């Protein structure tokens, strides 16, 4: 059974103007599925629907075979731990008034008592915070800083540490490297790849950047105007049978 499955998902914000049209795909455990498309094609809307921040007009979203899309906020709560996200702008996901230690431990304070961890060792909050910093290759000295005292790349590493702290099954990565310079982007992609292996994570990786998508994903879906127009294994990116739109995106590589 796939970890995540979307069947005929449709979403509009205004009547008669669909933003997502008949989205169908599945994602297996420990897999990274990449979704690439230009600005405005509906990528973030798709992420928000999967994270249950938007209601669907039609279709279904199944998590380990169980429907997510028709649950109440209370029913959805146990799933929120399994379903984490890293967004484009790390600054907006960290409270500027709180030290990093506090922001990092927020999910654990919310859910910690109910969570049994496999990869991280239970202990004091301080011990867990240090393990998380080590996992994202940051010095524990940064725990006592405020977000404005960190670089963009360091802040994004903290957002990733927060997202993995409860050992979720799925992390939705919505343009996680788009606000960073090229070298930092590469180091974050490398870290994400390593964490997927080390912590048995699965990713849905959404980006306009085909190179980044190719670096991290096993399967790639190409989205255009709310529809998936092409889907293939990463190694088939340059194959002849690619959709003309995929070929257009590939031509932007040069
Ligand atoms: N809350 C909203 N209310 C009304 N329309 C919205 C809302 N959010 C997004 N849209 C519209 O839905 C369409 C898809 O937007 P979305 O943000 O999902 O695309 P995207 O591919 O993620 O773009 P980007 O990469 O620029 O963020 C756009 O036309 C956008 O204007």
CATH code of the domain containing 22:
3.40.50.300
- pLDDT, one tens digit per residue, over 54-63 is 999 999 999 9
Non-local (6+) Cβ contacts of 131 within 8 A are 120, 121
- pLDDT, one tens digit per residue, over 137-192 is 999 999 999 999 999 999 999 999 999 999 999 999 999 999 899 999 999 999 99
* Protein residue whose Cα sits closest to atom 5 of ligand 1: 13
Please state the atom number of ligand 1 nearest to the C-alpha of residue 46: 18
Which pLDDT does position 114 carry in this prediction?
67
Query: pTM for the whole thing?
Result: 0.94
Domain count across the chain: 1
Which pLDDT does position 112 carry in this prediction?
65
Residue range(s) defining the domain that contains residue 163: 4-252
Which pLDDT does position 110 carry in this prediction?
84
In terms of residues, how long is the chain? 254
Ligand 1 close to Cβ of residue 114 (< 6 A): no
Which pLDDT does position 119 carry in this prediction?
87
Ligand 1 close to Cβ of residue 84 (< 6 A): no
Check the CA dihedral 26-28-34-40 and report its sign. Answer: positive
Reduce the DSSP state of residue 8 to 3 states and report it: strand
Choose the residue to mutate in 9, 13, 221 for probing ligand 1, maximizing ligand atoms within 8 Å of C-beta. Answer: 13
- pLDDT, one tens digit per residue, over 17-36 is 999 999 999 999 999 999 99
- Provide ipTM, 2 decimals: 0.95
């Amino acid at each position: 059974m796939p970890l995540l499955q979307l069947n005929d998902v449709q979403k509009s914000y205004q009547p008669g103007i669909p933003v997502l049209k008949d989205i169908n795909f599945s994602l297996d455990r420990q897999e990274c599925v990449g979704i690439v498309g230009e600005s405005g094609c509906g990528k973030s809307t798709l992420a928000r629907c999967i994270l249950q921040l938007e209601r669907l007009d039609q279709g279904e979203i199944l998590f380990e075979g169980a429907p997510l899309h028709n649950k109440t906020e209370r029913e959805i709560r146990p799933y929120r731990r399994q379903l984490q996200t890293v967004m484009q702008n790390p600054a907006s996901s960290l409270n500027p008034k709180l030290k990093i230690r506090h922001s990092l431990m927020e999910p654990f304070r919310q859910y910690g008592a109910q969570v049994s961890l496999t990869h991280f060792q239970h202990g004091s909050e301080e011990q867990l915070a240090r393990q998380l910093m080590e996992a994202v290759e940051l010095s524990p000295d940064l725990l006592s800083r405020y977000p404005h005292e960190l670089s963009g790349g360091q802040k994004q590493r903290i957002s990733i540490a927060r997202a993995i702290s409860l050992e979720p099954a799925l992390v939705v990565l919505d343009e996680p490297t788009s606000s960073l310079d090229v070298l930092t982007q590469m180091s974050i992609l490398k870290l994400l790849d390593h964490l997927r292996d080390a912590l048995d994570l699965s990713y849905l990786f959404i980006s306009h950047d085909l190179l980044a998508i190719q670096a991290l994903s096993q399967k790639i879906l190409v989205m255009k105007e709310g529809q998936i127009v092409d889907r293939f294994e990463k190694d088939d990116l340059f194959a002849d049978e690619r959709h003309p739109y995929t070929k257009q995106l590939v031509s932007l590589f040069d």
